[in-house]
Copies of this chain bind each other. A is one copy, B any other.
Amino acid sequence: MLSRDQSVVTIQRELTAFARRARAAAARMHPELSLVSFTLLSHLEDQQGCRATDLAAYYMLDKSTISRQIAALEKLGFIERISDPDDHRIQLLQLTPAGTAKLAEAAELRRQAFHERLADWAPQDLDRFAEYLLRYNSLAEGGS
């Protein structure tokens, strides 16, 4: 077994390597939907809609970046803005049917790719890997 420090270094290195390739890999899988767009749509689906500021906070992006991404996605017809009647500063962002469909299509491509890559894994290993990632990311949510 690796020492604690070796394990941490390995985890760090491998997660970084993955992150480094994720953008290009996502772009190859579905050229029309960048990694950012894809994750934003996913988030909207999971959350059943949310505000632009929430997206910015969650993904550590500037609100201006989100604003432009949102504008592009709206122009494509994938999301719509619903003004909050109580507070006109707030826009609730939601997926349109077209956006839901597009997201499902991209997600299916990704799902297939992941399934292929993980085809050889034992179910127990998959389960544990998923659990570890969840645990890691839940810790990361608060800060760095």
Q: What residues of chain A have their CB less than 8 Å away from a CB belonging to chain B? A: 1-2, 4-26, 28-29, 35-36, 38-39, 42, 59-61, 110-111, 113-115, 117-118, 120-121, 123-130, 132-137, 139-140, 144
Contact: A14 with B134, CB < 8 Å?
yes
Please, which residues of chain B bring their CB within 8 A of the CB of A25?
60, 140, 144
Contact: B16 with A15, CB < 8 Å?
no
Please, which residues of chain B bring their CB within 8 A of the CB of A140?
18, 21, 25, 117
Contact: B7 with A19, CB < 8 Å?
no
The distance in angstroms between the C-alpha atoms of A126 and B139, with both chains bound, is: 14
Please, which residues of chain B bring their CB within 8 A of the CB of A139?
117-118, 120
Which of B35, B127, B134 contacts A16, CB < 8 Å?
Answer: B35
Q: A24-B61, A118-B8 are in contact. Are A18 and B123 (CB under 8 A)?
A: no
